[in-house]
């Protein structure tokens, strides 16, 4: 039975997520930007936190953890490769490992690039992937640590998930991402339609996260380095998609 996913807005533009298994009563948290919104969401629903899944070490994904654990002494799971920079872990995981949340076996995917050791959590039965600052709605995280080819490989792993997969990323950056996306994919009707919806939703205060993988495949320029229209827009017709990705990321950094 699929688990319930609750989006928890935090800080100015971060998202944390709660995943609740009705059958077992277990609840997991993905990332801990700040304590109050998470604790309030748990209290409102009468849920007890059992697991915390950390995607990477940046402060705006972990700084709320200590205060949350004071109220909910949950098991903390994070990347072995980043354990020296993460809060203390109860379970350190690597790509290919699985962890059990409720009755579901959750797959660990290495999505290094934004940081080295960044991981995503894929719930195949629920059909959701928590990508934080790797694949984002209409974008991808800035490459603070990894070279473009590492992030390209990471995004390629995520893009191979089923198109109906729900993508829970870490920030409300979609509207600004859209302003860039149209510059490198100007003739994409699916992108134009999505931008209209994003503008409408944000004007009404509606989150644009999560999104669907099918939407990202159709409109996210960082997944579209293979597309001839995108290649032409950046003057790289016939180039390796990884090289096109690197050029798109360079342009976004300077946008």
Residue 20 is among the residues annotated as catalytic for this protein: no
Residue 226 is among the residues annotated as catalytic for this protein: no
Is 56 flagged in the annotation as binding?
yes
DSSP secondary-structure letter at 224?
-
Residue 90 is among the residues annotated as catalytic for this protein: no
Nearest-angstrom CA–CA distance, 61 and 56: 7
User: At a CB cut-off of 8 Å and minimum separation 6, what does 187 contact?
Assistant: 229
Q: Cβ of 211: how many Cβ atoms within 10 Å? A: 23
Catalytic residue among 21, 31, 57, 60: 60
Catalytic residue among 56, 57, 72, 118: 56
Catalytic residue among 20, 51, 57, 61: 61
Residue 57 is among the residues annotated as catalytic for this protein: no
Is 118 flagged in the annotation as binding?
no
Is 201 flagged in the annotation as binding?
no
Is 20 flagged in the annotation as binding?
no
Residue 133 is among the residues annotated as catalytic for this protein: yes
Residue 51 is among the residues annotated as catalytic for this protein: no
Catalytic residue among 58, 82, 110, 185: 58
Residue 63 is among the residues annotated as catalytic for this protein: no
User: At a CB cut-off of 8 Å and minimum separation 6, what does 114 contact?
Assistant: 56, 132, 133, 134, 140, 141, 142, 143, 144, 145, 146, 151
Rg (alpha carbons) of the chain, rounded to whole number: 18
Is 57 flagged in the annotation as binding?
no
Is 72 flagged in the annotation as binding?
no
Is 61 flagged in the annotation as binding?
yes
Q: Which residues are catalytic?
A: 56, 58, 60-61, 114, 133, 171
Binding residues for Zn(2+): 56, 58, 60-61, 114, 133, 171
């Amino acid at each position: 039975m699929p688990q319930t996913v609750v989006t928890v807005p935090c800080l100015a533009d971060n998202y944390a997520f709660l995943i609740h298994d009705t059958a077992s009563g277990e609840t997991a948290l993905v990332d801990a930007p700040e304590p109050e919104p998470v604790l309030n969401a748990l209290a409102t629903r009468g849920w007890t936190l059992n697991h915390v899944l950390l995607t990477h070490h940046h402060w705006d994904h972990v700084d709320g953890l200590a205060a949350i654990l004071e109220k909910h002494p949950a098991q903390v799971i994070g990347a072995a490769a980043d354990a020296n920079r993460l809060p203390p872990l109860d379970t350190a995981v690597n790509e290919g490992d699985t962890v059990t949340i409720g009755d579901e076996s959750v797959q660990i995917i290495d999505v290094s690039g934004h940081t080295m050791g960044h991981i995503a959590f894929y719930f195949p039965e629920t059909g959701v992937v928590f990508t934080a600052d790797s694949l984002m709605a209409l974008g991808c995280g800035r490459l603070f640590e990894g070279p473009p080819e590492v992030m390209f490989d990471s995004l390629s792993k995520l893009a191979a998930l089923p198109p109906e997969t729900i993508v829970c990323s870490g920030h409300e950056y979609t509207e600004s991402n859209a302003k860039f996306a149209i510059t490198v994919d100007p003739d994409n009707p699916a992108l134009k339609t999505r931008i209209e919806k994003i503008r409408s939703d944000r004007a009404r205060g509606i989150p644009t996260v999560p999104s669907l993988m099918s939407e990202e495949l159709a409109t996210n320029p960082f997944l579209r380095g293979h597309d001839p229209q995108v290649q032409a827009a950046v003057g790289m017709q016939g180039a390796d998609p990884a090289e096109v990705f690197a050029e798109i990321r360079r342009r976004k950094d300077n946008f």
